[in-house]
Amino acid sequence: MDFQFNEDQREFRALLREFVDREIIPVARDWEHSGRYPTEIVDGMREMGLFGITIPEEYGGLDLDPVSFALVFEEIARGWMGIAGILGSHSLACRMIAMRGTEEQKRKYLPDLAAGVRRTGIGLTEPDAGTDLQGIRTTARLDGDHYVVNGTKTWITNARYADPLPVLVKTDPTTTPAHKGMSILLVESSLDGYEVTKDLPKLGYKGTESCEIVLDNVRVPKENLLGGVEGKGLQHALSALEWGRVNIAARSVGIAQRAHDEAFAYAKQRKAFKQPISDFQAIQLKLGNLSTQIQAARLMAYWAADAVRAGRADGATGMAKIFCSEVALEASIDAMKIHGGYGYSTEYEVERLYRDAILMSIGEGTNDILRTVVAKSVLSGETVVR
């Protein structure tokens, strides 16, 4: 077993780290507190080609392997998790179009998406349907050469920039089981009746917007049905979410690593009783546990990414998402405790890390739901634990 990155991956990681240290870390805290959109950071990611990480080279993308994909999100989340969100939803949607779209759809959208000229996200969640995607109410009725779409989507990352937005709809609301009547439409933002109605305020995950979108009799051309076949929408969405769980696991490792770095730096410079607090055994116990847990989470995240490379990996990605997200939260809390009262202050990084870490246990499927996914995978023999 090889637990090392290859030379290309090491060089790529070094490039990412330099970008994060130079362009993200110096401004993240101030921009997050002010609510400023990170336009310059987005431009930098565009120049690096990062909007094409899941797009095949023939359409202008980088076509990264899953391990390199995870590298991107660990490093960016180390700087500012919200920035990773901007790239994450875009990348999953691009992969879905690249893997499931018709050749015409790929030629039309992927080159501009790879270049960052267009951006995108994923329109799945609704006010009454999150984890249970089969419970969505958004419908698409075929009328001649167009689908007429009605419904509401919520918590949509990149909503104000997505064009097109892949939207999960029911093209046949009467079919049972419900997933057989679900499809994905590539909805362009210029269409009449498509409106981003509001931004949703959040505890953390700042930097990127999370919005509600209303679709009121939006007429979407029939050729924008992803893959050109109805009834495959949930399958398309779930295939993207498998990469999404690697994304969340890697983001969690990035948050945990930053908490680790902040805790160690503070423990070495903060003095109590005329000595650095890092000299006290109680602090050393926390620091030692923090380092151990983060390294375990990192290995879990990249193991899951490699499992995706090898084939279907619901169990592995579920395990990684659960474990890494919980390590991120534990690491951020321990970093706050090591900082003492300063950890509760917005002048220090760790309170932001805490607010961002909480979302990791919710996004891409709550951890409790994923525990059932893992159990079923092990029971079926798809995932072997030994």
User: Do residues 59 and 111 lie in contact, with contact meaning Cβ atoms separated by under 8 Å?
Assistant: yes
Q: For residue 137, what are its two tokens? A: 């109410």
Region of residue 56 (left: phi > 0; alpha: psi -120 to 50; beta: else): beta
| CA gap 97, 102 in Å, rounded | 8
* DSSP track, 1-60: ---S--HHHHHHHHHHHHHIIIIIHHHHHHHHHHT---HHHHHHHHHTTGGGTTS-GGGT
Residue 25, Cβ density class (10 Å: 0-12 exposed, 13-18 middle, ≥19 buried): middle
Is 364 marked active-site?
A: yes
3-state secondary structure 68-134: HHHHHHHHHHHHCHHHHHHHHHHHHHHHHHHHHCCHHHHHHHHHHHHHCCCECCCECCECCECCCHH
User: Do residues 100 and 227 lie in contact, with contact meaning Cβ atoms separated by under 8 Å?
Assistant: yes
From 47, 58, 364, 382, active-site residue? 364
| CA gap 222, 148 in Å, rounded | 10
* SS3 category, 381: coil
User: Do residues 314 and 305 lie in contact, with contact meaning Cβ atoms separated by under 8 Å?
Assistant: no
Alpha-carbon dihedral of residues 297, 246, 303, 48, nearest 10 degrees? -100
Q: Report CA 158 to chain centroid distance, whole Å.
A: 12
Which among 87, 7, 89, 84 is positioned nearest to 254, based on CA atoms?
84
Q: Which residues are marked as active site?
A: 364
